[in-house]
C-alpha cells in the first residue's frame, strides 16, 4: 500500500496551503464575526481551480481525484472551517451531476460550477426529515401537458442554498411510494416559485450560509431530472458517501489548525518561569492531539483512495467522518484548554475553531447515523 503523495499532490498541497495562509486565514475572524458569505474568496478558489477539483477537464474542471479534494479542503479548513465547508459542499452538486446526469446536464452545469464561480447546493433535509431522510415530503409532480415537474415543499438547513446558482433537490415524483418514489431534480436560482425563507443564525461556520428553500408550484422542465426516476434516495446516499469524506477532511483541518496554534502558544506562553511546553501536562495534551490527528488523517485518505479506485467505501467514509469529527471536537477542546483564558477570548481563533468543530459531528449525517451505517456493514 502506497501512502505517498504524488509530486503533483505535493505541489497542490503547497498551493492550497499558501492560498489558505494568504487569502483565507486573514479573513477568517471577519467572516465569523459578520457571517457574510466570502464570495470573493470563492471566486478566487474558482480561478485557481479548486472549485473544479474532481470534475474532468473536458467539462471545464481541474481534473484530479478525491485525494486531491481532501488535500485542498484540509488545508483551507486549517485557517477557516466556513470557507472549507463552502468548497466541500459545493462539489457535491457537481459530483452528483457527473455521476448521474445526462450529457446535456454535464455540459451545461459542470463548467459553470467549476470555472464560473457559481455555487451549487444539495437539498435533501426537511423540517421533519433530517436523519430520517427518507421521510421527505416535498413533491415534484409531472404535468404531462407542459412536460414540467411542479415542485412543492420546503427544504431546510441547506448550505449555500440562497447563494447557489443551481440546487439538486430531492422530491417525491411518486409520493405513494415513499422513498422509492423520490427523484433528484435540478432547480436553478430565479425559477418562479423558488424562494428563500429563513437564513439560520448558527453556533459556528458563520460564513457558510444555511438557508430554508421554499418551493411553491415551482415548475422546471422534465429534462432537469437527474438519474433514473424513483432513484433519488439512492443518488442522495451515494452523493452523501462522498460528501462525508469532505466533511472528514474539514474536521481534520480544524483539528490541525487548533493543534498548530497550541504548539506555537505552548512554546511562547511563560508560566512558573518557563514556557508551558515544558510542563508535562501540556506535553501530554499535545501528544494526545497529535496522535488523534495522525490516525484521523489516514482513515480519511484510506476512504478517499477506496473511492478513487472504484471500490465500495460507504463504511470507510462513515468511519472517517465519525472519527475525524470526534477528533476535531476533542482536539479543539484541548487546544482551548491549553490557551486558558486567552483561548476563550475572541482575540484568539480557538473559540471559533471550537464552535466550528461541532457541526462536523452533525451535518452530512450525525455521528449516530455513521454508527448505524458502520454497524450495518459489520453485521451484514
Ligand atoms: N449508497 C447508495 N444507496 C444507498 C446507500 C448508499 N450509501 N445507503 C442506502 N442506499 C439505498 C439502499 O440500497 C436502498 O435502496 P433500494 O431500496 O433500491 O434497495 C435505499 O437506499 C434505502 O436504504 P435504507 O433502507 O438503508 O434506508 P433507511 O431509511 O434505513 O436510511 C440512513 C438509512 C439512516 C443511513 C439514511 O437515511 C441516512 O444516511 N440518513 C442521514 C441523512 C443525512 O446524512 N443527512 C445529512 C444532510 S443531507 S442535506
pLDDT at 115: 85
In-domain check, residue 1: no
Residue nearest to atom 41 of ligand 1 (CA): 131
3-state secondary structure of 349: coil
pLDDT at 116: 76
282-301 pLDDT, tens per residue? 999 999 999 999 999 999 99
Positions of E strands within the chain: 120-123, 139-143, 148-159, 166-172, 182-188, 194-199, 210-221, 225-226, 270-271, 274-275
Same domain, 107 and 132: no
Same domain, 366 and 248: yes
Residue whose C-alpha is closest to residue 168's, from 201, 192, 145, 140: 140
Same domain, 113 and 131: no
pLDDT at 356: 98
Q: How far apart are CA 369 and CA 61, in angstroms?
A: 32
Q: What share of the chain is helix, strand, coil (3-state, %, to 5)?
A: 60, 15, 25
Same domain, 276 and 370: yes
Same domain, 63 and 174: no
pLDDT over 80 (residue 117):
no
311-369 pLDDT, tens per residue? 999 999 999 999 999 999 999 999 999 999 999 999 999 999 999 999 999 999 999 99
Residue nearest to atom 26 of ligand 1 (CA): 373
Give the residues surrounding ligand 1 with Cβ less than 6 Å away.
Answer: 122, 124-125, 131, 133-134, 179-180, 233-234, 237-238, 240-241, 314, 363-365, 369, 372-373
In-domain check, residue 2: no
25-36 pLDDT, tens per residue? 999 999 999 999
Q: How far apart are CA 164 and CA 279, in angstroms?
A: 49
Last residue of a domain, one of 205, 230, 255: 230
373 CA to centre of ligand 1 in angstroms: 9
Could you give the residue numbers annotated as active site?
364
306 CA to centre of ligand 1 in angstroms: 20
Same domain, 182 and 240: no
Task: For residue 21, name the pLDDT band (cuts at 50, 70, 90).
Answer: very high
CATH number, position 102: 1.10.540.10
Cα-only R_g, the chain = 21
Q: What domain range is 307 assigned to? A: 233-379
Residues in contact with 17: Cβ distance below 8 Å, sequence separation at least 6, in sequence order: 75
Same domain, 212 and 293: no
pLDDT at 1: 66
Residue nearest to atom 46 of ligand 1 (CA): 364
Same domain, 243 and 374: yes
Q: How far apart are CA 201 and CA 279, in angstroms?
A: 40
Same domain, 285 and 355: yes
Q: What are phi and psi of 137, to 5 degrees?
A: -115, -10
Q: How far apart are CA 116 and CA 51, in angstroms?
A: 9
pLDDT at 198: 96
Same domain, 218 and 147: yes
181-222 pLDDT, tens per residue? 999 999 999 999 999 999 999 999 999 999 999 999 999 999
Q: How far apart are CA 179 and CA 169, in angstroms?
A: 14
In-domain check, residue 355: yes
Q: Which atom of ligand 1 is nearest to the CA of 365?
A: 44
In-domain check, residue 28: yes
CATH number, position 298: 1.20.140.10
In-domain check, residue 75: yes
Residue whose C-alpha is closest to residue 133's, from 149, 155, 150: 155
User: Are 180 and 186 within 8 A, CB to CB?
Assistant: no
pLDDT over 90 (residue 2):
no
Read off the DSSP letter of residue 130. S
pLDDT at 130: 94
Q: Which of 177, 237, 360 to mutate for ligand 1's pocket (most ligand atoms within 8 Å of CB)?
A: 237
91-109 pLDDT, tens per residue? 999 999 999 999 999 999 9
Q: How many domains does the chain have?
A: 3
User: Are 166 and 197 within 8 A, CB to CB?
Assistant: no
Same domain, 329 and 218: no
Task: For residue 53, name the pLDDT band (cuts at 50, 70, 90).
Answer: very high
Report CA torsion sign: 170, 171, 174, 179.
positive
Model pTM score: 0.97
Q: What are phi and psi of 156, to 5 degrees?
A: -130, 165
Last residue of a domain, one of 174, 209, 230: 230
Average of per-residue pLDDT values in the chain: 97
Residue nearest to atom 14 of ligand 1 (CA): 234
CA atoms within 13 A of residue 122's CA, in its CB half-sphere: 26
User: Are 121 and 210 within 8 A, CB to CB?
Assistant: no
Last residue of a domain, one of 118, 153, 184: 118
Same domain, 225 and 243: no
Amino acid at each position: 500500500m502506497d501512502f505517498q503523495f504524488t509530486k503533483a499532490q505535493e505541489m497542490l498541497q503547497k498551493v492550497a496551503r499558501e492560498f489558505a495562509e494568504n487569502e483565507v486565514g486573514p479573513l477568517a475572524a471577519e467572516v465569523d464575526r459578520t457571517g457574510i458569505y466570502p464570495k470573493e474568496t470563492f471566486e478566487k478558489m474558482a480561478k485557481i481551480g479548486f472549485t473544479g477539483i474532481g470534475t474532468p477537464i473536458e467539462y471545464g474542471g481541474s481534473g484530479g481525484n478525491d485525494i486531491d479534494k481532501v488535500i485542498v479542503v484540509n488545508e483551507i479548513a486549517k485557517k477557516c472551517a466556513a470557507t472549507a465547508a463552502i468548497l466541500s459542499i459545493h462539489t457535491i452538486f457537481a459530483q452528483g451531476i457527473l455521476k448521474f446526469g445526462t450529457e446535456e446536464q454535464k455540459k451545461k452545469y459542470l463548467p459553470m460550477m467549476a470555472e464560473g464561480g457559481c455555487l451549487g447546493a444539495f437539498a435533501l433535509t426537511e423540517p421533519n426529515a433530517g436523519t430520517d431522510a427518507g421521510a421527505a415530503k416535498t413533491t415534484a409532480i409531472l404535468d404531462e401537458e407542459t412536460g414540467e415537474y411542479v415542485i412543492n415543499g420546503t427544504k431546510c438547513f441547506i448550505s449555500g442554498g440562497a447563494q447557489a446558482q443551481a440546487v439538486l433537490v430531492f422530491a417525491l415524483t411518486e409520493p405513494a411510494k415513499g422513498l422509492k418514489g423520490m427523484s433528484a431534480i435540478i432547480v436553478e436560482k430565479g425559477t418562479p416559485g423558488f424562494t428563500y425563507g429563513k437564513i439560520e443564525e448558527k453556533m459556528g461556520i458563520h460564513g457558510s450560509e444555511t438557508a430554508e428553500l421554499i418551493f411553491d408550484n415551482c415548475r422546471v422542465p422534465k429534462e432537469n431530472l437527474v438519474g433514473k426516476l424513483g432513484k433519488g434516495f439512492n443518488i442522495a446516499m451515494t452523493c452523501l458517501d462522498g460528501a462525508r469524506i469532505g466533511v472528514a477532511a474539514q474536521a481534520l483541518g480544524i483539528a490541525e489548525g487548533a493543534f498548530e496554534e497550541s504548539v506555537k502558544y505552548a512554546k511562547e506562553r511563560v508560566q512558573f518561569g518557563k514556557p508551558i511546553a515544558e510542563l508535562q501536562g501540556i506535553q501530554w495534551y499535545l501528544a494526545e492531539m497529535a496522535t488523534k490527528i495522525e490516525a484521523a488523517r489516514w482513515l480519511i485518505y484510506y476512504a478517499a483512495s477506496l473511492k478513487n479506485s472504484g471500490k465500495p467505501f460507504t463504511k470507510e467514509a462513515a468511519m472517517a467522518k465519525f472519527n475525524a469529527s470526534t477528533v476535531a471536537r476533542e482536539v479543539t477542546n484541548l487546544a482551548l484548554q491549553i490557551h486558558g483564558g486567552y483561548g476563550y477570548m475572541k482575540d484568539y481563533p480557538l473559540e471559533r475553531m471550537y464552535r466550528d468543530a461541532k457541526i462536523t459531528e452533525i451535518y452530512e449525517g450525525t455521528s449516530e447515523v455513521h454508527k448505524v451505517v458502520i454497524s450495518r456493514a459489520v453485521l451484514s
